[in-house]
Amino acid sequence: MRTPALSSRLGAEALGTFWLVFAGCGSGIFSAKYLAPSVVAGQGVQVGIGFLGVALAFGLSVLTMAYAVGHVSGAHFNPAVTIGVAVARRFPWTDVPAYVGSQVGGGLLAGLALWGIARGVPGFDATGHLAANGYGEHSPGGYTLVAVLCAEAILTAFFLYVILGATDDRAPTGFAPIAIGLALTLIHLISIPISNTSVNPARSTAVAFFNGNGAPAQLWAFWVAPLVGAAIAGATYHLVTGIDRRDEDITGVVDPEDLRPTS
């Protein structure tokens, strides 16, 4: 078994992050609230997917792409995950900048696609309506900066704990994407009202500049808190669990015969 070329892994990370942002944020933009006309009631009927549907969309996006390309790149799709597993010494620091760059790039492409599609409705105003994260007046529930920072750090830390545990060779084989996807779903069920849920700086960056309305100015919080939470989890997982797998990389592995010839 061999680790795929860095270019292949970066392509997989960009693809996976694109899908996470497009599916997750897209569900919030297009489907969370949808009013269908009702002849009987004489007014619109809410048939949208709501918070539960958005939470499932984020979880399913990670689950499906982890199965699709996890064997290529390790299925990080998130700068906080990449840095967290690097702190845990399960991913090489030399590859971190490239992974983060590909994740942010893939996310921005998804944000651009969402912005373009959303403008397909006459009169649509993107400002404040592109599923951006926020605190204070930009928090769905009006939560303060301190509350948002705490929630984002704690939830990202537990997301990393799940990832580090589910990818252990002694965990049930083949089920890691399910555990990770369900963990992300649970995280969204908890925190959509708090911050619109980030736990992923690439997801936050992807829509912030298209959304405007204060999101770019608040973006720093959705880099700092997830990275701090991920670093804490990466540094403490082996101490808390007593399981030290710091020599096992969370990267892709493929059979040599499946690699595309380079010439």
* Domain annotation covers residue 146: yes
Which pLDDT score, from 0 to 100, does residue 36 have? 81
Domain that holds residue 234: 6-248
pLDDT in tens, 26-37: 999 999 988 887
Total number of domains constituting the chain: 1
* Domain annotation covers residue 90: yes
* Domain annotation covers residue 255: no
Residue type, 222: F
List the beta bridge partners of residue 35: 46
Query: How confident is the model over 237-242, as a mean pLDDT?
Result: 89
**Under DSSP, is residue 254 helix (H, G, I), strand (E, B) or coil?**
strand
* Domain annotation covers residue 263: no
Instruction: From residue 97, give the alpha-carbon distance in Å to each of 106, 126, 203.
Output: 14, 31, 17
Average pLDDT score, the chain: 92
Query: How confident is the model over 79-84, as a mean pLDDT?
Result: 98
Query: How confident is the model over 42-68, as a mean pLDDT?
Result: 93
* Domain annotation covers residue 84: yes
Which pLDDT score, from 0 to 100, does residue 168 have? 84
% of the chain beyond a pLDDT of 70: 90
* Domain annotation covers residue 258: no
Which pLDDT score, from 0 to 100, does residue 71 have? 93
Which pLDDT score, from 0 to 100, does residue 261 have? 54
Which pLDDT score, from 0 to 100, does residue 172 have? 84
From the list 25, 28, 18, 16, the residue with the least C-alpha distance to 180 is: 16
Overall pTM surpassing 0.85 (yes/no): yes
* Residue 40 confidence (pLDDT) above 80: no
* Domain annotation covers residue 259: no
* Residue 128 confidence (pLDDT) above 60: yes
* Residue 262 confidence (pLDDT) above 50: no
From the list 181, 33, 17, the residue with the least C-alpha distance to 111 is: 17
Query: How confident is the model over 179-205, as a mean pLDDT?
Result: 98
Taking the CB of residue 1, how many other CB atoms lie within 10 A of it?
9
What is the domain-level CATH number for residue 166?
1.20.1080.10
* Domain annotation covers residue 199: yes
